[in-house]
């Protein structure tokens, strides 16, 4: 039963849509109860400090990480994630994720404008979650 449900989840994840270029990403999850999508979203940001997790919103605090291969100009990077999980109909939920990042360079924090890949990684963790 659990395996069948997991494969259905993988089969029914729809629509990675970019909003406004580097803005938030959305994913629609069908045939999975809202509470399971919510729990998967919480697990997707386990390594972040959680500032808020209520009423369909998950807002993390800043978490530092090593710069990625596409961020060699920074000594370190800090990022935070905002997730919105909302019921979108019978057995359908919509997940919206935004990632804000800043890099440390020359003694100051500079906004990292390209965070779309990091947002995709958060959505992938939700999508791949077998809960």
pTM as predicted: 0.78
Query: Are 116 and 22 spatial neighbours (Cβ–Cβ below 8 Å)?
Result: yes
Which residue segments constitute the domains of the chain, with CATH numbers given?
2-128 (3.30.530.50)
| pLDDT at residue 14 greater than cutoff 60 | no
**Section 27-38 average pLDDT:** 87
- List, for residues 50-71, the tens digit of each pLDDT value: 999 999 999 999 999 999 888 9
On the question of pLDDT at 24 being above 90, the answer is no
CA distance 52 to 97: 14
The CA distance from 59 to 69, in Å, is 26
Q: What share of the chain is helix, strand, coil (3-state, %, to 5)?
A: 25, 45, 30
Tokens linked to 39: 């729990």
| pLDDT tens by residue, 85-113 | 999 888 899 999 999 999 999 999 999 98
């Amino acid at each position: 039963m659990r395996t069948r449900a997991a494969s259905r989840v993988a089969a029914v994840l729809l629509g990675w849509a970019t909003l406004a270029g580097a803005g938030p990403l959305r994913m629609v999850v069908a045939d999975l109860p809202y509470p399971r999508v919510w729990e998967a979203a919480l697990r997707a940001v386990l390594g972040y400090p959680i500032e808020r997790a209520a009423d369909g919103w998950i807002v993390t605090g800043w978490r530092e990480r090593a710069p990625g291969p596409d961020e060699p100009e920074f000594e370190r990077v800090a990022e935070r994630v905002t997730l919105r999980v909302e019921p979108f109909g019978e057995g359908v939920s919509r997940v919206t994720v935004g990632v804000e990042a800043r890099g440390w360079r020359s003694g100051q924090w500079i906004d990292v404008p390209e965070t779309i890949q990091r947002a995709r990684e958060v959505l992938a963790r939700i999508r791949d979650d077998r809960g």
